[in-house]
């Protein structure tokens, strides 16, 4: 009996040790991916002052964080937008970028925005629920608030860049391609890390499914698909879709309106584009199509494709540094 108990104890200890080793290995691998992806940046209170949860509107999510480098009154701002498929994420998710460039002497900020199907919009935003149009309004309102706060702190923000990761990269590109001319702070360049540039590429149109939905079929499956499509279209422009809106032509048209690629022109701010070749969520083709559109319109851009990375961009350390170098180069080139 005693021998049996010893065997059990040794077995349990062995299993616990094995689990601990596996957790340690996975933890080291995860840390390595974060570090190689540039998502770990050393920061101390001596590097700058952080103003947290400042408000730019009345909505629950209408808050931002602003960082002013120590002993500096910068006139350039870099605003970062978090990812999360437009339905999750927090402004703090982008603190690594905020800290990185604040240490270089730039004012930096990150903001929350009202998420699809999740949050209640401020009363002065005329939509039933959050959508890409309301997000554009919130970004503009946030920039206006940052400009005012900067003046209060002795910083006259005369120029800015906007960037983001994944869904935030999409919003950054959409704002840069659509709203640069009306931005409260002049927009000098944009940064997209794995941001969808072409919504049709992200959500391909199933013509057969659209035809069934438009046919009036009332089977449970099609009724569910019909409502899902209406919700998707509402997330683009904020309008409640009718059955008549569910035709192939209109669906493709609205997808186009939600795509930064659609708005590229000679007036589009220069862009830094970073994508993972092994990304199964936002394929590198988004970056390549955006780069082609920018090139055709004579807009300066840098496209960096991470050959071994997926959506997290954590497998190509040298490419991470190339993105940082590109941002530094664009700051030197486009900030006065």
Residue 222 lies in a domain: yes
Does the global pTM surpass 0.85?
yes
- Rounded to 5°, the CA angle 188-190-193 comes to 165
Question: Could you tell me if 96 and 222 lie in one domain?
Answer: no
| Domains in the chain, number | 2
Is the pLDDT score of 6 beyond 80? Answer: no
For residues 138 and 178, membership in a common domain is answered with yes
DSSP string over 133-158: HHHHHHHHHHHHHHHHHHHHTT----
d(Cα 55, Cα 278) in Å, to the nearest integer?
Answer: 38
Q: With 80 as the cut, is the pLDDT of residue 190 above it?
A: yes
Answer yes or no: is 180 within a domain: yes
Model confidence pLDDT, tens digit, residues 62-110 = 999 999 999 999 999 999 999 999 999 999 999 999 999 999 999 999 9
* 187 belongs to a structural domain: yes
pLDDT at 267 over 70: yes
DSSP collapsed to 3 states, 216-260: CCCCHHHHHHHHHHHHHHHHHHCCCCCHHHCCHHHHHHHHHHCCH
Cα–Cα distance, 206 to 242 (Å, whole number)? 19
* Structural domain range at position 251: 201-255
Residue 163 has pLDDT above 50, yes or no: yes
Is it the case that residue 21 has pLDDT exceeding 60?
Answer: no
- pLDDT of the residue at 106: 98
Tell me what the mean pLDDT of segment 305-316 comes to. Answer: 97
pLDDT at 2: 55
Q: What is the 3-state secondary structure (H, E, C) of 65-84?
A: EEEEECCCCCCEEEEEECCC
Same domain, yes or no, for 182 and 263?
yes
Q: What is the mean pLDDT of the chain?
A: 91
Q: Are residues 189 and 61 part of one domain? A: yes
Are 240 and 322 in a shared domain? no
pLDDT average, residue stretch 19-45: 60
Q: 12 in a domain, yes or no? A: no
Query: What per-residue confidence (pLDDT) applies to 25?
Result: 44
Residue 98: enclosing H or E segment and its boundaries?
helix 95-102
% of residues, the chain, pLDDT over 90: 81
Residue 34 falls within a domain, yes or no?
no
- Map tokens 């032509």 to a residue: 249
Higher pLDDT pick, 259 / 214: 259
């Amino acid at each position: 009996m005693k021998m049996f108990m010893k065997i059990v104890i040794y077995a349990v200890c062995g299993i616990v040790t094995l689990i601990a080793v596996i957790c340690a290995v996975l933890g080291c691998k995860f840390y390595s991916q974060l570090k190689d992806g540039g998502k770990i940046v050393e920061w101390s209170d001596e590097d700058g002052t952080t103003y947290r949860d400042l408000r730019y509107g009345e909505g629950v999510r209408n808050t931002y964080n602003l960082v002013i480098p120590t002993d500096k009154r910068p006139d350039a701002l870099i605003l970062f937008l978090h990812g999360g498929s437009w339905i999750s994420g927090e402004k703090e998710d982008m603190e690594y970028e905020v800290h990185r460039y604040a240490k270089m002497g730039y004012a930096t900020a990150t903001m929350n925005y009202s998420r699809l199907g999740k949050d209640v919009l401020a009363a002065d935003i005329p939509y039933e629920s959050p959508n890409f149009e309301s997000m554009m309004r919130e970004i503009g309102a946030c920039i206006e608030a940052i400009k005012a706060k900067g003046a209060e702190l002795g910083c006259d923000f005369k120029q800015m860049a906007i960037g983001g990761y994944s869904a935030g990269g999409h919003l950054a590109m959409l704002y840069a391609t659509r709203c640069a001319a009306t931005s409260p702070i002049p927009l000098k360049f944009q940064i997209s890390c794995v941001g969808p540039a072409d919504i049709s590429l992200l959500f391909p149109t199933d013509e057969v499914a659209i035809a069934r939905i438009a046919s009036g079929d009332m089977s449970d499956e099609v009724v569910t698909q019909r409502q899902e499509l209406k919700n998707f279209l509402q997330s683009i422009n904020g309008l409640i879709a009718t059955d008549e809106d569910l035709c192939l032509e209109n669906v493709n048209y609205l997808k186009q309106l939600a795509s930064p690629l659609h708005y590229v022109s000679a007036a589009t701010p220069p862009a830094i584009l970073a994508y993972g070749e092994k990304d199964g969520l936002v394929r590198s083709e988004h970056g390549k199509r955006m780069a082609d559109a920018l090139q055709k319109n004579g807009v300066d851009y840098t496209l960096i494709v991470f050959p071994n990375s997926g959506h997290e961009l954590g497998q190509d350390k040298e490419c991470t540094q190339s993105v940082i170098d590109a941002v530094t180069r664009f700051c030197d080139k486009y900030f006065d």
